[in-house]
Amino acid sequence: MKRIIIHEEYCIGCGLCEVHCIVKHSRTGKIIRAFKEERDQIVPGVQVERDGYESFALQCRHCDDAVCIEACMTGAMHRDPETGAVLCDTDRCVGCWMCIMVCPAGAIQQGADGTVASKCDACTDEEIPVCVANCPNEALVLEDEE
C-alpha cells in the first residue's frame, strides 16, 4: 500500500494541506464556499503541528496493526478491504473516544459537532491525496511502503 509520508525537514508549516483537506471534505468542493459555509463543520484529517521553525503535518498512518480498530467497541473503526485504509463509519461511532486514547500518533480528532470521531480517509477516491497534491514543498509525499 502507498502511504502518505511526511519529510518534516521540508514541512514549511504553511497549512495548505489542512486547507485542501477541508475543501475536499466539504459539501461543494469549492474552496471559497467551503470556507465561508462549512469552515466550522469540518475538522481536517491532517493537522500541522508547529514548534518554533519546525513543523509537521500529521495524519493517520493507516497502521497495519491498527490499535484503534481493536479498541473500537462498535466496529465503527474498520479497515477498508479494497484500499487498506483505516476508516471511521460515523453511523456506528458512538463517540467513546477510545480510538483517540489509543492512537500512538495522535492522529484522530473529535468531529466538529463533538459526537463522532474524525480522521484522515486517505482520499481513497483520489489518485493522489489532496494534502500531497497541494503540498508546495513536496514535504508530504505518497510513497510505497518499504
Kindly list the residues in this chain that would bind another protein in the complex (CB under 8 A).
Answer: 7, 9-16, 18-20, 31-32, 35-36, 39, 52-53, 134, 136-139
Closest CB 134 distance from another protein, rounded Å: 8
Kindly tell me the sign of the dihedral angle through the C-alpha atoms of 28, 46, 126, 6.
Answer: positive
Closest CB 52 distance from another protein, rounded Å: 8
Q: What is the dihedral of CA 58, 95, 83, 57, to 10 degrees?
A: -10
Closest CB 31 distance from another protein, rounded Å: 6
Q: Which is nearer to another protein, 12 or 102 (CB)?
A: 12
CA within 13 Å, CB half, 30: 5
Q: Which is nearer to another protein, 17 or 77 (CB)?
A: 17
Closest CB 33 distance from another protein, rounded Å: 10
Q: Which is nearer to another protein, 23 or 76 (CB)?
A: 23
Exposure b/e, 115-138, CB count within 10 A at least 16 = b: ebbbbbbbbeeeeebbbbebbeee
Q: Which is nearer to another protein, 106 or 136 (CB)?
A: 136
C-beta neighbour count of 66 within 10 angstroms = 19
